[in-house]
Amino acid sequence: MIREGWLRRTTTSVWFKLAVAAGIIWLLVYFNRIDVTVLASLTETWPWLMAAFLLSLPPLCIVSYRFKVILSSQGIDVQLGQSLRWTMIGSFFDLAMPSSNGGDFIKAGYVVKHVGAGLRTRAVMAVAFDRVIGLLGLFLLATIVSVIGWNLLNDLPSRHLVVGISFAAGIGPLIVFRVAGARRLYNNEHINRWLLSHVWGQRFKQLIGAFNSLRENPKILFTALGLSMLNHIFWCTSLLCIAIAVGNAVSPLKGFIVFPLAIFGGVFGVAGGFGVGTAAFDFLLSHLALIQNGALIGLLFQIIGALSRLLGLPFYLMTVHSPHDMKTVNSSPLKKVCKP
């Protein structure tokens, strides 16, 4: 029992994750998956990298407005400036924790402190559902582009599999939420008794409730999904600029189908995708877009993402903290929501 506890603490620690990320990147360099010689040529193509960085800035405002919309659907009305502040602080802690969802924990703490105990559950669900909507928008973008340009994708390797995965990950959860949120199922006494007897069941029911709040106003739901797709349009365009900077000509059509899958791989990396996310870029871009320096593209994308997240530091430093504030943030209820 003690040994299992030690192993769990070790594998979930920040330093272990950083060591794994550093080890993966070293292996990618060692096996020439990251061509160091290409880095020298970036001094000539730096304007493309600058364009990639500038394209990473509008998403910060877009997701802030999306978070405001989702909060409003849960009965929590805040100004855009407040939503932007929470989003920027959360983005910074995505990098500084570092973990793939550390910023959500911190953001949830601030929102809960703002709304008070009466709306605590709704606030936490808004943060969690905002992340879900963001991921759905990623795959919905790939699905829509696939449908529009299907006849032009004959040379895309495994196009049926790629499009199928995007469709399942983008449309599938919406179907599940819609079916599970139907009144007959959502209010069923036997189903609720079973769900509420499990922690994961309680959280799932709360997520369904958050979705139902959005579904009751289709305009808000489509606005949130549209903002998510717009957010990822900027990120995919940023990736196109990075690809050009390292000497690759990627078809925008293919890029907007393959890049979302690669971006999703960053969810499993450290501080925005370093390590596992970099390897995911290498695998997906080499097999689906036939790009042989996908790891370098991924690494540059993650560095640019890290720089944009650093812009959240001033928002955090300008926030006045009291001991009660820090206690609330450090014990964010989202940890209980995400706990397996």
Q: Domain extents for the chain?
A: 38-338
CA 157 to chain CA centroid, nearest Å: 26
Lowest mean pLDDT: which of 27-36, 78-87, 120-129, 168-177?
27-36
Nearest to 285 by CA among 329, 236, 224: 236
Cα 299 to its chain centre, rounded Å, is: 17
For residue 31, give the amino acid letter: F
Q: Residue 206 and residue 307: Cα distance in Å, rounded?
A: 34
Q: CA–CA separation, 245 vs 156, rounded Å?
A: 22
Q: Is the dihedral of CA 275, 53, 83, 180 positive or negative?
A: negative
Alpha helices of 197-312 — where are they, by DSSP H?
199-215, 218-245, 252-265, 276-288, 294-310
Between 331 and 209, whose confidence is greater?
Answer: 209
pLDDT mean over 231-239 = 95
Secondary structure letter of residue 57 according to DSSP: S
Q: Give CA separation, 214 vs 18, 115, 120, 337, 338, in Å.
A: 38, 19, 18, 20, 21
Mean pLDDT, range 306-334, rounded to an integer: 67
* CA separation for the pair 14, 19 (Å, rounded): 9
Q: What is the pLDDT of residues 23-70, one digit of tens each?
A: 656 666 655 556 666 666 777 888 999 999 999 999 999 999 999 999
Q: What is the pLDDT of residues 68-94, one digit of tens each?
A: 999 998 888 999 999 999 999 988 888
E runs forming strands in the chain: none
pLDDT at residue 261 tops 80: yes
Residue that wins the pLDDT comparison between 89 and 291? 89
155 has a pLDDT exceeding 60: yes
CA 115 to chain centre: 24
From CA 302, how far away is CA 275, in angstroms rounded? 10
Looking at the predicted structure, is the pLDDT value of residue 183 above 50?
A: yes
Residue 163 has a pLDDT of 83
* Pairwise CA distance, residues 67 & 331, whole Å: 21
Residue range 272-277: average pLDDT? Answer: 73
Rounded Cα gap, residues 293 and 43, in angstroms:
17
**Among candidate residues 126, 117, 114, 106, the one with its CA nearest the CA of residue 330:** 106
Task: For residues 291 and 25, give the distance between their C-alpha atoms in angstroms, rounded to a whole number.
Answer: 18
What tokens does 28 get? 């990618």
The answer, yes or no, to whether residue 123 has pLDDT greater than 90, is no
Q: Give pLDDT, residue 271.
A: 64
pLDDT of 315 above 50:
yes
Length of the chain: 340
Separation of CA 80 from chain center: 20
Q: Could you give the angle at the alpha carbon of 242 between the alpha carbons of 238 and 245, nearest 5°?
A: 140
How far, in Å, are 52, 56, 142 from residue 248 at the CA level? 14, 20, 20
Asked if 201 contacts 167 with a C-beta cutoff of 8 angstroms, the reply is no
Q: Which of 222, 230, 214, 243 is nearest to 301 (CA)?
A: 243
- Percentage of the chain surpassing pLDDT 90? 21
Question: What's the average model confidence in pLDDT over 148-177?
Answer: 82
337 — pLDDT class (breaks 50, 70, 90): very low
Name, in order, each residue with C-beta under 8 angstroms of 31's C-beta and a sequence gap of 6 or more: none
Query: Has residue 104 got a pLDDT over 80?
Result: yes
Q: Rounded mean pLDDT of 104-133?
A: 85
pLDDT value at residue 292: 80
pLDDT for 38 equals 65
- Residue of 116 and 9 predicted with greater confidence: 116
pLDDT at res. 98 = 52
Rounded CA Rg of the chain: 21
